[in-house]
Structure 1
Amino acid sequence: MWRDDAYLLDMLIAAREAREFSKGVTWDAYRQSSLHQHAIAKALENIGEAARKISQQTRSAHPEIPWEQIIGLRHRIAHDYFHLDLVRMWDIVQREVPVLIEKLDSLVPPEEP
């Protein structure tokens, strides 16, 4: 579905932003920087918001993407923001987002010239 292509692109862009926001940042710097915490949380929330809009057909066709966990994280960020686990958020952006980017890269149609 063409809308799914747009949402997959939104997910990819937000995932790349999350990685960019953490680039060159250490755990200690992240832990002490509300700017980095908010930027990364918002990017992760955006990934989940776009994932939530992906059709069930596309989700079923790509079980390698943990759709429910991504969407669940979005709900957690949006509704329980002041109780986020910073260690878990850091782990997600360091370990899971790069894998997600790799998976999304193969699903997003290339840009037309």
Structure 2
Amino acid sequence: MLDHGTEAMQMARSRVRRDLDKDRQLNLALVRLLEIVGEASARVTEDTKRNHPQVAWVEIAGLRNRLVHGYDDVDFDILWDIIQLDLPPLVSTLTTILNR
């Protein structure tokens, strides 16, 4: 989760929202990275999830399902907001958890 979330943030760092519409490789890469973050969240133990309720485990897995099964209807405004607004605190929290 941490590695792929970090990679998505780095990939989007010097970009703007409209780049998702113009750059197919960027678009596909970011979607795939978020899919992997979601897939990895489903593999986290129930103990870890219980001990870290500050992480939106269910929503993260739900995003993965939406991206995988609704691939032809992704709202890229929402995707961009997730990368810009939700991913940085998630990466920070995961870093803290893993450094304990």
Give the TM interval when normalised to the shorter protein.
Answer: over 0.9
Instruction: Give the distance between the partners of 2:93 and 2:76, measured in 1 at CA.
Output: 25
Q: Does 1:21 align with 2:6?
A: no
Q: What amino acid is aligned across from residue 51 of structure 1 in structure 2?
A: S
1:67-102, Cα deviation, whole Å (9 max, x unpaired): 000000001111111111100000000000001011
Find runs of 4+ consecutive structure 1 residues off by over 2 angstroms: none
Measured on the aligned residues, the alpha-carbon RMSD in Å equals: 1.2
Scaled by the length of structure 2, the TM-score of the pair is 0.94
1:12 — aligned with what? 2
Instruction: Give the distance between the partners of 1:101 and 1:61, measured in 2 at CA.
Output: 17
2:53 — aligned with what? 63
For the pair shown, which has the larger CA radius of gyration, 1 or 2? 1
Offset at 1:41?
Answer: 0.7
Q: Matched residues, percent identical?
A: 29
Residue 53 (structure 1) aligned to one of 40, 43, 54:
43
- Structure 1: 5+ residue stretches without partners: 1-10
Offset at 1:109?
Answer: 4.0
Instruction: Give the distance between the partners of 1:75 and 1:27, measured in 2 at CA.
Output: 22
Scaled by the length of structure 1, the TM-score of the pair is 0.84
Offset at 1:30?
Answer: 2.1
Instruction: Give the distance between the partners of 1:98 and 1:50, measured in 2 at CA.
Output: 17
Count of residue pairs brought into register by the alignment: 100
